[in-house]
Structure 1
Amino acid sequence: MDFSGVRRRLGAVAGELRRAILVRRRLLSAVCAAVAVLATVRAVAPPPPRTAAVLVAVRALAAGEVVGAADVASTALPVAVVPSDAAAAPVGRTLAGAVAPGEVVTEARLVGPSLLEGHDGLVAMPVRIADAAVVGLLRVGDRVDLFAADPAAATPSGVLVLQAGLVLALPRQTEAPTDGQRGRLLVLAVTADQGVEIAGRAARGLLTVALAR
């Protein structure tokens, strides 16, 4: 029996086995090193920020609109950027200011349950202003002077009807009026007597406003 040939074959097999073990050791070492690096990165990485659910507008909302269920959606934002006055239940309430798509609906953007909350003794009176562009310059909370003019008068001139009236709402006109009326509505806080005077002036002529201090 040729023992030298057997020894050579055994030596070749042992060499291949050692090479395979060495390759596997290197691969195992690389895997262990990668795991160690990943564990280190995870250990030093800051934890994900805490989030809170808030309601944001899904479309552009105008001042004076009543918020509907389809106008808002819930989303999660980092607690650090959530406004302190984020509204928890804005549906059914009236907007005091415009809200952009994706903006968190806050209490600052909403009026109270009633337009006249905090305005005892006053009434909310819709007033049609002849020039819609003028109303577009106003914001809820502005103070305005209301003027009336009668185009049919022999010598048309403006008359101050209301001084420093509070703008309660600016209803959005979604379509062109079909009754021939032009301009745009705004809602003012007035006394009952002032309302009677304004209604009379509106029936006889045109109304406009100017920003007051």
Structure 2
Amino acid sequence: MLLVAAAVILAVTERHRDRHDFAVVASRALTPGTELTADDVQVIALPAGAVLPGTLQRLDQAVGARLTGAIGQGEPVTATRLLSSRLPAALTGDPRGRLVPVRPADAAVAGLLRAGDVVDVLDEHAGVLAAGAVVAVPAGSAGRGPAGTGALPPPVLLAMGEKAAHRVAASSLANSLTVVLH
């Protein structure tokens, strides 16, 4: 009887040891704004339970998507690091979340922002337009215009609720906006 129990335990242990999950990871260090190619990512097998929630598991989920922030070589690629229609909901917790491009009045402030920072958006005339917006894509992540040409500074892409997004977008058409970092 003891031998049968030992055989069952050994069989279950061996089966569990052979289980694994898959994760998409960066093949090399990648910068914000990068559109992922098959050369940028790879799928690796990890022990069962070792894959973090939200980690992509197939290459087709990553290839063609654009990064919202930097990823180091070997780091897992998660859904919240990719620009998509699901990103504002993931960042804000609001299923009706939206992404809004904002050009802060002070371009130097835009350069301080990083993906994941939380900010309030203010209009010089109307006051606070959005509280608790999340930086999805920092300024310059998708490239900058030629220096010294007088071109507008690159926008910051912010995730926020639907109503706040509409206020910010409408206000940005005629007024200077600024952000307050949390």
TM-score in same-fold range (> 0.5): yes
Match runs of 1:157-176 below 5 Å: 160-170=127-137, 172-176=141-145
Change (3 A) 1:128 1:65: farther
> What is the distance in 2 between the residues matched to 1:119 and 1:181?
35
Residue 6 of structure 2 corresponds to which residue in structure 1? none
Aligned to 1:74: 43
C-alpha displacement at 1:144, in angstroms?
A: 1.4
Give 1:144's aligned amino acid.
Answer: V
Residue 172 of structure 2 aligns with an amino acid whose one-letter code is I
SS of residue in 2 equivalent to 1:193: helix
Mapped pair 1:211 → 2:164:
no
Q: In 2 relative to 1, CA 139–195 (structure 1 residues): closer, same or farther, beyond 3 Å?
A: same
Determine if contact 1:52/1:79 at 8 Å carries over to the other structure. Answer: yes
Whether the 8 Å CA contact 2:29–2:72 is kept in 1: the answer is yes
Give the distance between the partners of 2:143 and 2:166, measured in 1 at CA: 29
Matches within 5 A, 1:117-156: 117=89, 118-120=94-96, 123-148=98-123
| Residues in 1 aligned to 2:82 and 2:56: alpha-carbon distance in whole angstroms | 9
What is the CA deviation profile of residues 61-82 of structure 1, one whole-angstrom value per residue up to 9, with x for unaligned ones? Answer: 3455543333212345x52794
Gaps of 5+ in 1: 1-46, 150-157
Identical counterparts, % of pairs: 35
Q: What runs of 5+ residues in structure 2 fail to find an aligned partner? A: 1-13
Compared CA separation, residues 195 and 182, structure 1 to 2 (3 A): closer
Greater share of helix? 1
What letter is aligned with 1:59? R
- 2:75 matched to 1:103? yes
Deviations 1:46-67 (A, max 9, x none): x9x8565532213333455543
C-alpha distance in structure 1 between counterparts of 2:76 and 2:62, whole Å: 11
Number of positions where the alignment pairs a residue of Structure 1 with one of Structure 2:
151
1:108-155 residue CA offsets vs partner (Å, 9 max, x unmatched): 5346543444442x6432112344553343344433123456xxxxxx
Give the drift of 1:87.
0.9
